[in-house]
Structure 1
Amino acid sequence: MKNNQFAIRPTEFKDQIEELKTIGFLDKDNEDQTDPIRLWKSFLSKSFLEAKTSSIFEEKLKTYMATETQNLNEYLDSATHLSVKAFYNVALQLLKFNPDVDFDFNDPLNAMKKIQLMIANHNNDSFNIDELKSAWYWLLATHNKNGQTYLDSLAAKGYFIDFYGKVTKPMLFNGKTLPVFDPHKLIHEVVYVESPQDSDHDGKRDLLKAEILRPQATENGLKVPILYTASPYNQGTNDETGEKLTHNVNVPLKHKVPNDLQYSDIEYHASNNEVPAPRSINGETKHAEEDFSRENSYTLNDYFLARGFAVAYMAGIGTKDSDGLRTTGDPEETISTVSLIKWLTGELPAFTNRTDNIEIKAWWSNKKVAMTGRSYLGTLATAAATSGVKGLKTVISEAAISNWYDYYRDGGLVIAPGGFPGEDADVLAEETFSRRLQPGDFQKIKTSWNKQLKDIANGQDRNTGDYNTFWDARNYHKSFKNITADVFMVHGLNDWNVKPRNVEKLWNGIKYNGVTQKIILHQGQHIYINAFRSIDYNDIINLWLTYELLGVDNQAKEIIPNVIIQDNTKPENWNAYKDWSNNNNEQVEYKLSNDKLVTKYIQSNNESFTDFLPESDFNFYSKHNDTWQHDLIANDNKLKNEQLIFKTDPINTDLIIDGKSHIQLKVSSSQNIGLLSFQIIDYGEAKRLNASPTILGKNNLAQTYDWREDDLREFTYASPSPFKMITKGHINLQNRNNNYKVDELKPDVFYDINVELQPTFYKLLKGHQLGLIIYATDFGMTVRGNQNITYTVQTRDSSLLIPIHKK
């Protein structure tokens, strides 16, 4: 394996000593020790938590080897000095690496370097007393084979139990918080936040249920920061009724009436509807009336609950035990999301129940909030950030939507999120409308909800796929200028659910806001990465939040790279970069010439393809999208007439595509309708990473002692394959100027189009070929009309622009 640790904080020796004292490795019994062997044995005795007697301790020592011929117990009894080699032989075993598999007893330092583990400074072949202390410090901060620091693995065995109930503030090691708060004594409480909105139009402000978990120490005066996850799924979902609403995508592409719209014609403007007056407060209390047994948790939040952070979950308007109606991403949902932050900072009231108006304040809050979560959860974090709300210090937006049009539409086309053909804003609203799960409540608002669903369906406009006022209300790009919180982005370069354009627009859209921004791009799809072995994600976020929410000067902004990207050609390889998708990157232009991509024209012809399949093939691909995707790239006989493929010659050096590729075509359609789809392909036999991570160990990662686990995961190699899709894009030929202006499309007339593909960062290896596929119906994303249309491309006037990474 290869260890990638980006969150290790450089620490002066004097600070290392203080931190070792703080966590108890150096104490009054050993801090004056001058013999490295004896001090090492003392450190080991504190680490072997299972050993309650000296006999058991010696038995444990015998299970480790210090040299090729001596076990650790023998070595400690006989050695007169502590060799660096022996220390790291044992260190590798403590870190769960295996001799003869991961390292050789005769050369542990070589393995340390190869795996990228921290090696302490030393002047000779043996450690002196200070070098040993420093080596032990760095060992505690180093990741083991399961992707945890050695100190965190000790915490999982109970190292910090003795600190429970005794600490009065968060404890730090190497710039990060430690699990010194007892997670079994968390306070669980429910409050009802009064949001300044009336989304169900009942004449009263919406009350929104929030679930809070906070350390017991808050009862004794500790003020804590809050990790807030806004999850519309938190209170349950309506999978069956959502499924019934799912739209049929086997429908024809329709001709659209041309228009002459300007952006001002479709721009969203907030309504001036008056918000009902706040409730009258009938009293105040510090104690909630309602608790809960188990929240619908996120394991990253679980990790921080033992580290002195509170966690809040809220599902928002239109969910179980809350007021309001679901709206799927509009300003009403942003107001709903932000309301909890305003309660946490003292700007809005919350109540102990829905009827008595007894106010409860977040008196335990230090008024500093971070938002966490993936997909819809991360989307609402982004939305909240665009409000500029006070107290929101940072958002960690994972796989987040930044423009709902880019989620459900593309280039004037209805486009499905990858894996969910037929889903749309109305389907998602219904799925998350968990007020339906309480029939007594639902009965009161059934009529209002049915009207709301119709309004969403009309607004989303599946007939045209155009950008309109409905989508403009759900476009957070317009409010990027309001973001004052620091933003940490995480996204999959192979995420075809929330496509990479969403994070690229956010990344480049806030560069001049004066905020700190970081991004991690992985090779996964729509996933979390906090339980990966090869990257210290939890440590990175720990360093980040310790700085952002506790105000600790731990150099997080400087230590964490601006851009971290997982290599697509090697497992467990992550690299740091200064930027991503920079508009200053060099553009390489490839011309289309016969079936080739070339830098200079060789020959040009008009090349045509159709968009019509025999009924049996069409029906099969409609039900087997993955097979269609394979056959498209493989140029299967069934699809030969439905596509054009252009390839470069094998490239003579590695090539890194960094950012947004563009297609420039002169193209015609045989009818007054037309859609085009594009894929950039890596052609070349190679081992490639699996599309989904492999579970290396079920429940293998404990958050701390006897406290919730996560599965250890990692991307591993799949069987060798001859190709892989790099990126894709789509356009309705009637929207060739922009997404809201519809132009006429005359049959057999050539038009110039320019299509921006989804951004990426991809290494194409020497000897591989870069390929472009031009086709029409995308069985996984577009409507599927199976219409007999012929498309013709004038290759002489067509090209592909590829952005090349600048080193």
Structure 2
Amino acid sequence: MLSFTRGSRSPAAVTGVVAALVAVITLLTAAFTLPADARGNDPAPGPTQPVYSYARAIRQSVWVDTGLSADRKDGKPVRVAADIIRPREPAAAGRRVPVIMDASPYYSCCGRGNENQVKTYDGHGNPVRFPLFYDNYFVPRGYAVVLVDLAGTNRSDGCTDVGGPSDVQSAKAVIDWLNGRARGYSARSGGHPVSATDWADGSVGMIGKSWDGTIANGVAATGVEGLKTIVPISAISSWYDYYFAQGAALYDGGPDQLAGSVESTSAHAHCAAEQQRLRDGAPRNGDWTQAWQQRDYVAAASKVRASVFVVHGLEDLNVRTQNVGPWWDALAAHHVERKIWLSQTGHVDPFDYRRAVWVNTLHQWFDHYLMGVDNGIERASMADVERSPDHWTTDPVWPAPGTASTRISPVASGTPGIGTLALPPALSGAAGTESYTDDPSRSETDWAAAAGQPTPDKVSFLTGTLTRPLRFSGSGTVTLTATASTTSAHLSAVLVDLGPATIRDYEGSGEGIKTLTTRSCWGESGPGDSACFLDTAADTESVGFTVFSRGWADLGHGGAGLHGGPLTPGKPYTITLRLAASDHIVPAGHRLALIVAGTDKGLIVPPDTRPALRLDLAGCFAQLPLVGGPAAWTAATGQGAGQGAGQVAEPAAAPVLRSAPQRSSAA
């Protein structure tokens, strides 16, 4: 978004030989192998095969009525452009095919994928390049691929409303059209009516990264008939949680600025009123408004009929994992079929960090949910988690089996600014108070680097050296009782693994990947649309600590309803910060730190004052998602309930310093 791939494969010569062999095999087997759509409605016995010609595929553009009215005096309806590529052979035989859809605002302004591909057209306006590999790989296997321009972008009418009704309806209307419930036309101005029911079987799978995946979430939350699965990658589930963390602003700009960055030239001319509505509905004070409610898909999770395959980077500091936990938990509560991949990367597509496994898994996923192939993907492990660069583990469910929310108390020690962590109840009189002063020039990187030393800008609570590993899986919270010296205050709470590790460099320019000069091919190429993409590899660094979960809040937004107000200096307030979803193992020999501070530089916007804060530790505690619960804590720390109070923290190992990340909401 909002953005502001594994090692190289074969050399070009070998790739050419392999491609030729594949072509020969395809020709020999095409007459004898029928893909799922040719076998009737029975579940197919094996994976779909590339038996259809990509070169001869039908390419067309259709403009679909959204049912919305343009913000113009002429009152013309809003039509969105859908560029379609589908195999010719099933159409010629009267057979229908399922659709893979990616609805995006980025097809002309910013591009998709690691190479920033945009749509291209020939001199007659017919689509030539379909960004990413979906068309190259899946069309020969009997799928249609439909790329939709959200309202107000590229060749669509209307205005972008950043995850609101117009954005969601842009994609939903195309699903309705594919199922015969909406009207489509051959031209933006009208042309002749076009139907999809003669070639589309009505089954749709939506996919996309960032804003694209966000729209998949939003459309699924409408419960639209025909949407069978979604694959949201680094996607938003609540736009409020993208822009704010419990009242604390995460970005300087608002959704109106984001809309302006993607809208087409024609949209700029008539969308000023919509942008003003975005500004009015999303005030910079962090209050929960009707506009945010419209853009909260978690609240409508009960309507989701589609299966959901969530993919996200645990160190994504653009669309942060605050957007994973609530959505996943809501889907689980409503028994939605689901799967999850969690990588060590930032805002990165899995095609660029686990390419071969990703393509194979996605192929199985779409085959099952769109073609009816009984391949067992829905019974396979639910969760894949990257533990270190390119090393993955699996779990049958997520959060991991045996995870229990475990209450941990911060306790003062004999050193101001440095405390310990213990199972409650803490020893009598040991809770105490701690104080710090907000310093907007300091970040979580600075805090973690000095976790074991007193500094005026933060308070650290640490375990001793762990004798067994501690695994965190899921979402947690930190409850703080704080008194501020001024009328405004922001709070940060971060969990840190103190110990050496080799991780993906998520703060680097590639957010955990580096782009190579070689290419690998995934599907068939055509004139103007290559199936060959630059390879990538893990971009790693050695560190002395890892921040693995974060939470932020404005202290004035601690009440019900997320409506804030000025603080009364000297008055204590209690607020519960939501920690971002995570899955991390703190190894034996490392220590765990909970750090509480003010402004997290580069990740939240400072308050309008610089407060001193006092924590009443008797009113502070964390609820952490520990695999094994309290027993695992005791085994790893040697503490029983109430032990650990009064211990002096060990000095922190000298870490490898990293600069604080600077993120923006630009595409």
Contact 1:325 1:433 in 2 (8 A): yes
Asked if 1:610 corresponds to 2:437, the answer is yes
Counterpart amino acid of 2:260?
Answer: E
Paired residue total: 584
Asked if 1:208 corresponds to 2:80, the answer is yes
**Matches of 1:298 and 1:765 in 2, distance apart?**
38
* Residue 728 (structure 1) shift: 0.9
Q: Any idea what SS the aligned residue of 1:781 has?
A: coil
Gaps of 5+ in 2: 1-5, 38-43, 112-123, 630-667
**Matches of 1:158 and 1:206 in 2, distance apart?**
47
Asked if 1:653 corresponds to 2:474, the answer is no
* Residue in structure 1 matching 2:376, options 532, 555, 573: 555
| Residues 394-432 of structure 1, C-alpha deviations (whole Å, 9 max, x = no match) | 11111111110010011112222xxxxx23211111111
1:528–1:511: structure 2 CA closer, same or farther, 3 Å change rule?
same
**Matches of 2:623 and 2:451 in 1, distance apart?**
26
Counterpart amino acid of 1:802?
Answer: L
* Residue in structure 2 matching 1:518, options 334, 339, 350: 339
**Matches of 1:360 and 1:311 in 2, distance apart?**
17
Counterpart amino acid of 2:163?
Answer: G
Q: Which residue of 2 aligns with 1:223?
A: 96
Q: Any idea what SS the aligned residue of 2:563 has?
A: coil
Asked if 1:304 corresponds to 2:138, the answer is yes
**Matches of 2:354 and 2:167 in 1, distance apart?**
36
**Matches of 1:513 and 1:663 in 2, distance apart?**
26
Counterpart amino acid of 1:207?
Answer: R
* Residue in structure 2 matching 1:630, options 421, 442, 445: 445
Q: Any idea what SS the aligned residue of 2:455 has?
A: helix
* Residue 144 (structure 1) shift: 11
| Residues 510-566 of structure 1, C-alpha deviations (whole Å, 9 max, x = no match) | 2244542111111111111124458612111111111111122222212x3222222
* Residue in structure 2 matching 1:338, options 146, 150, 172: 172
Q: Which residue of 2 aligns with 1:504?
A: 325
1:199–1:640: structure 2 CA closer, same or farther, 3 Å change rule?
farther
Asked if 1:485 corresponds to 2:485, the answer is no
Q: Which residue of 2 aligns with 1:132?
A: none
Alignment of 1:121-160 (within 5 A): 146=9, 156-160=19-23
Q: Which residue of 2 aligns with 1:712?
A: 535
| Residues 158-209 of structure 1, C-alpha deviations (whole Å, 9 max, x = no match) | 3244535757842799832222222222222111111111142542221111
1:525–1:153: structure 2 CA closer, same or farther, 3 Å change rule?
farther
Q: Which residue of 2 aligns with 1:54?
A: none
**Matches of 1:643 and 1:789 in 2, distance apart?**
12
Asked if 1:676 corresponds to 2:491, the answer is yes
**Matches of 2:168 and 2:75 in 1, distance apart?**
20
Counterpart amino acid of 1:191?
Answer: V
* Residue 584 (structure 1) shift: 6.1
Q: Which residue of 1 aligns with 2:52?
A: 181
Larger radius of gyration: 1
* Residue 456 (structure 1) shift: 0.9
Contact 2:390 2:538 in 1 (8 A): yes
* Residue in structure 2 matching 1:193, options 64, 76, 101: 64
Contact 1:210 1:315 in 2 (8 A): yes
Q: Any idea what SS the aligned residue of 2:348 has?
A: coil
* Residue 571 (structure 1) shift: 3.9
**Matches of 2:358 and 2:217 in 1, distance apart?**
20
Alignment of 1:274-673 (within 5 A): 290-295=125-130, 297-362=131-196, 363-416=198-251, 422-434=252-264, 436=265, 441=266, 446=269, 448-462=270-284, 464-533=285-354, 536-558=357-379, 560-568=380-388, 571-580=390-399, 585-594=404-413, 595-599=418-422, 600-601=426-427, 603-612=430-439, 618=441, 628-635=443-450, 640-673=455-488
Contact 2:458 2:596 in 1 (8 A): yes
* Residue 688 (structure 1) shift: 2.8
| Residues 482-515 of structure 1, C-alpha deviations (whole Å, 9 max, x = no match) | 1111111111111121111212222211224454
Contact 1:588 1:804 in 2 (8 A): no
* Residue 227 (structure 1) shift: 0.6
Asked if 1:803 corresponds to 2:625, the answer is yes
* Residue 237 (structure 1) shift: 5.2
* Residue 606 (structure 1) shift: 2.5
Counterpart amino acid of 2:229?
Answer: T
* Residue 155 (structure 1) shift: 5.9
TM-score (norm 1): 0.67
**Matches of 2:59 and 2:487 in 1, distance apart?**
61
* Residue in structure 2 matching 1:170, options 3, 17, 35: 35
**Matches of 1:573 and 1:168 in 2, distance apart?**
35
1:612–1:367: structure 2 CA closer, same or farther, 3 Å change rule?
closer
**Matches of 2:554 and 2:504 in 1, distance apart?**
33
Q: Any idea what SS the aligned residue of 1:195 has?
A: strand
Q: Which residue of 2 aligns with 1:233?
A: 106
**Matches of 2:567 and 2:401 in 1, distance apart?**
34
Residue range with higher mean Cα deviation, 491-500 or 154-163: 154-163
**Matches of 2:356 and 2:190 in 1, distance apart?**
49
Q: Any idea what SS the aligned residue of 1:505 has?
A: helix
Contact 1:158 1:705 in 2 (8 A): no
Contact 1:531 1:711 in 2 (8 A): no
**Matches of 1:479 and 1:715 in 2, distance apart?**
37
1:786–1:290: structure 2 CA closer, same or farther, 3 Å change rule?
closer
| Residues 604-647 of structure 1, C-alpha deviations (whole Å, 9 max, x = no match) | 4432211247xxxx5xx7xxxxxx44323213999921111221
Which of the pair has the greater relative contact order for Cα pairs under 8 Å at 6+ separation? Answer: 2
1:509–1:180: structure 2 CA closer, same or farther, 3 Å change rule?
same
Q: Which residue of 1 aligns with 2:640?
A: none
**Matches of 2:16 and 2:207 in 1, distance apart?**
24
Contact 1:666 1:753 in 2 (8 A): yes
**Matches of 2:477 and 2:409 in 1, distance apart?**
11
* Residue 803 (structure 1) shift: 1.6
| Aligned-pair Cα RMSD in Å | 3.2
1:162–1:744: structure 2 CA closer, same or farther, 3 Å change rule?
closer
Contact 2:411 2:432 in 1 (8 A): no
Q: Any idea what SS the aligned residue of 1:471 has?
A: helix
1:756–1:584: structure 2 CA closer, same or farther, 3 Å change rule?
same
**Matches of 2:137 and 2:322 in 1, distance apart?**
30
1:481–1:184: structure 2 CA closer, same or farther, 3 Å change rule?
same
Give % identity: 24
**Matches of 1:383 and 1:591 in 2, distance apart?**
39
* Residue 699 (structure 1) shift: 4.3
**Matches of 1:538 and 1:669 in 2, distance apart?**
51
* Residue in structure 1 matching 2:578, options 744, 756, 767: 756
**Matches of 2:402 and 2:557 in 1, distance apart?**
24
| Residues 202-239 of structure 1, C-alpha deviations (whole Å, 9 max, x = no match) | 4222111111111232442242211100011113259x
**Matches of 2:504 and 2:570 in 1, distance apart?**
43
Counterpart amino acid of 1:352?
Answer: S
Residue range with higher mean Cα deviation, 637-646 or 486-495: 637-646
1:509–1:356: structure 2 CA closer, same or farther, 3 Å change rule?
closer
Q: Any idea what SS the aligned residue of 1:370 has?
A: strand
TM-score (norm 2): 0.81
Contact 1:581 1:660 in 2 (8 A): no
Contact 2:233 2:310 in 1 (8 A): yes
Q: Any idea what SS the aligned residue of 1:306 has?
A: helix
Counterpart amino acid of 1:320?
Answer: N
More helix by share: 1
Q: Any idea what SS the aligned residue of 1:184 has?
A: coil
Counterpart amino acid of 2:600?
Answer: D
